[in-house]
């Protein structure tokens, strides 16, 4: 009986710790969760990222889609689950340093679902990558918080500039 009580006590303590982590302030709002993602992937060269906190932003079945419009013949689309993204792309963030900042935010929300366009400027700190583009999030409100169900991102190209409608005034192109 004593072992069972010890197990149950440890289980509930562990469950409480996990639930406390999952209900951070950042996931309580749409702006909070999308900006938390940028904060978690940004950092100095050789700085370890908090991949557990990153995983906590996504539904377990979430996908990330990377679109490369310059790949021949038309475009390249690559899908990854969160673990694949962390394994294949994550090390580049620490190795080269990375900074991504929001340059615009457009939110469409209805009854527990949201579609978000977050314009960004991203660069590594070694100076070999500097791009602007749009993150497209599909979010779900469940268990008193927002979850990222899917994230697709694409960089702008010379023939497909980010429309001013998706940029904050200070980042808009002047005609």
Residue 11: pLDDT band (50, 70, 90) is very low
* Residues 162 and 132 sit within 8 Å (Cβ to Cβ): yes
3.30.1490.20, 3.40.50.150, 3.10.450.50, 3.40.50.9100: which CATH number matches 27-171? 3.10.450.50
**pTM of the complete model:** 0.83
Q: Residue ranges of the domains in the chain?
A: 27-171
Residue 71 pLDDT: 59
With contact defined as beta carbons under 8 Å apart, do 92 and 85 qualify?
Answer: no
> Mind listing the pLDDT tens digit for each residue in 107-155?
999 999 999 999 999 999 999 999 999 999 999 999 999 999 999 999 9
In this prediction, residue 48 carries a pLDDT of 95
């Amino acid at each position: 009986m004593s072992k069972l009580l010890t197990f149950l006590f440890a289980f509930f303590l562990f469950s409480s710790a996990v639930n406390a982590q999952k209900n951070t302030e950042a996931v309580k709002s749409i702006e909070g969760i999308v900006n938390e993602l940028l904060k978690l992937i940004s950092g100095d060269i050789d700085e370890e990222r908090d991949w557990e906190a990153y995983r906590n932003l996504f539904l377990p079945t979430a996908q990330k889609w990377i679109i490369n419009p310059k790949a021949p013949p038309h475009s390249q689309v690559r899908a990854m689950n969160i673990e694949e993204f962390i394994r294949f792309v994550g090390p580049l963030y620490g190795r080269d340093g990375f900074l991504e900042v929001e340059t615009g935010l457009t939110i469409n929300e209805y009854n527990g679902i949201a579609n978000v366009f977050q314009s960004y400027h991203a660069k590594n700190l070694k100076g070999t990558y500097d791009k602007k583009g749009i993150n497209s999030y599909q979010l779900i409100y469940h268990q008193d918080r927002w979850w990222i169900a899917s994230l697709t991102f694409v960089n702008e190209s010379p023939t497909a500039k980010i429309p001013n409608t998706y940029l904050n005034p200070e980042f808009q192109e002047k005609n």
